[in-house]
Amino acid sequence: MSHSAPDPNEDHGSVYDGLLGTDTSQWAFGTDFEDPLAGVDTTVPADLDPAELAAYCLALGDDALVLSHRLSEWCSNAPDLEEDIALANIALDLLGQARLLLARAAAADPSVVPTLPDGSPVPVEDALAFFREAIDFRNVRLVEVANGDFAETIARLLLFATVRLAAFERLCAHRDPVLAAIAAKGVKELTYHRDYAGRWFLTLAQGTDESRRRLLDGLSATWPLYAELAAAYAAGAEVDVVLDQVFAVSGVDRPEVAPMAGRGHTEALSRMLAEMQVVARAHPEGLW
């Protein structure tokens, strides 16, 4: 079974058919899949190991994909409309980064892509997003745990955006020109994300007793996962400078909480993926 654009000449195509006349080119957003790397030279430079490059891009892509999904859970649930829209926009930026990075990983090393039934039209980035088990995801645990309240979401976003922005600034000079270009684009987006999170961090910390209590609780809850994030992105002194700046102006001390033991994933990822993947997995030959 495939789900292509409805035929407007059919009696029961879609309730929107009448809006289109015979012009199917304007059906929703596009009529088929669009490769985010269409026409881009994805040849891996000779001095790079394709499998290593793919694994690295997959890790960066999975972080963006998983946090994008978590942030999108705020849609219609945020404290007010402006924050609802802001979090959805940040989720959208991260989803775009994830698409590019998963596509780059698949182009560098096709063996990372899960096998689907013969003839399945599912593109590689969707195969990676929707047809891998939790154990195969390479994201850090910081992005996968549940959102908590708005303050905890802000604390997590500040840590993530600060560390990722610093890493992407370095990646602009990566020897793989595709990864370097993805990073250069991402830098501009992450700059807005970090500023957004930093402003809310300060606002909540210096707001009411209740907002400050919630922020400190959220930071304490997130901090055990910070060490893994910082290690994954090789965070250096430049990250500490930014975080210390936010903490100082907010009157907040760095939490003294031990890093969470172990590695791999928490149970939260399986639950999140079950919801994120269920429709795609029900239609492995579907075309969206």
Partner 1 sequence: MIHPTKPRERGAAREGLALPRGPRKGNTAYALAASVTDPEMPMLTLEDLGVLRDVRESGREVVVTITPTYSGCPAMATMRDDLVHRLTDAGYAARVEVALSPAWSSDWITERGRQALRDHGLSAPGPAPRSGGPIPLTLMPTARAVACPQCGSDRTELTSEYGATACKALYRCSDCLEPFEHVKEI
Nearer to partner 1, 83 or 285 (CB): 83
Nearer to partner 1, 134 or 205 (CB): 205
Q: How far is the CB of 266 from partner 1 (least distance, A)?
A: 26
Indicate the SS3 state at residue 197: helix
CA distance linking residue 86 with residue 147, whole number of Å: 15
For residue 198, the one-letter residue type is G
Nearer to partner 1, 110 or 236 (CB): 236
Q: How far is the CB of 150 from partner 1 (least distance, A)?
A: 15
In the complex, which residues of this chain contact partner 1 (CB under 8 A)? Answer: 25-26, 29-31, 34-40, 82, 85-86, 88-90, 92-97, 99-100, 165-166, 169, 177-178, 180-182, 184-189, 191-192, 194-196, 198-199, 202, 238, 242, 245-246, 249
Q: 8, 26 in Cβ contact below 8 A?
A: no
Query: Counting Cβ atoms within 10 Å, is residue 40 exposed (0-12), middle (13-18) or buried (19+)?
Result: middle
Q: How far is the CB of 93 from partner 1 (least distance, A)?
A: 5
Indicate the SS3 state at residue 229: helix
For residue 30, the one-letter residue type is G
Nearer to partner 1, 131 or 247 (CB): 247
Q: How far is the CB of 146 from partner 1 (least distance, A)?
A: 23
CA distance linking residue 242 with residue 198, whole number of Å: 9
Nearer to partner 1, 35 or 52 (CB): 35
